[in-house]
Amino acid sequence: MASTQASLLLQKQLKDLCKNPVDGFSAGLVDDCNIFEWSVTIIGPPDTLYDGGYFNAIMTFPHNYPNSPPTVRFISEMWHPNVYPDGRVCISILHAPGEDPNGYELASERWTPVHTVESIVLSIISMLSSPNDESPANIEAAKEWRERRDDFKKKVSRIVRRSQEML
């Protein structure tokens, strides 16, 4: 039953995004037969280090969505304190609901079923604009962001340029 409800909700969200596209990203299914796996392209936000880049990610939804959050993994190269080296995005709203066992996040900052594909991607775009180096997923990127900002900027600039060349 949960799988059917999740499927219907995801179909509705996909239809809404197709009818009313949102600036900054596009989304669709990886495979037309699987509503639980989406392909997302995020355009690097203006006036940020990622400005003009095209970053592809896969969003995978659990069968009990929206009660549990999806996972988001960049398949494009990404250098960011809140993105694990394997591309997985680490932001509060993608963490399971409830209290944080590590005590870093308030329950109100974590996943709630009111989130949509749109709100998730907009949160990721916001993350690109404002890295959180206090609770990093990529320790090396966070260290470089804090201690060697010019090196960080150069690395991101190369990644943005390569993403544009892939078009």
Report the amino acid identity of residue 88: R
Intra-chain end-to-end CA distance of the chain, in Å: 40
Pairing of strands 71-74, 37-43: unpaired
> Which residue of the set 90, 94, 124, 159 is catalytic?
90
- The SS3 call for residue 139 is helix
Between CA 113 and CA 99 the distance in angstroms is: 15
Q: Catalytic residue at 18?
A: no
- Helices then strands, counting H and E runs in the chain, come out as 4, 4
Q: Which residues contact 112 (CB under 8 A, 6 or more apart)?
A: 93, 97
Q: Which residues are catalytic?
A: 90
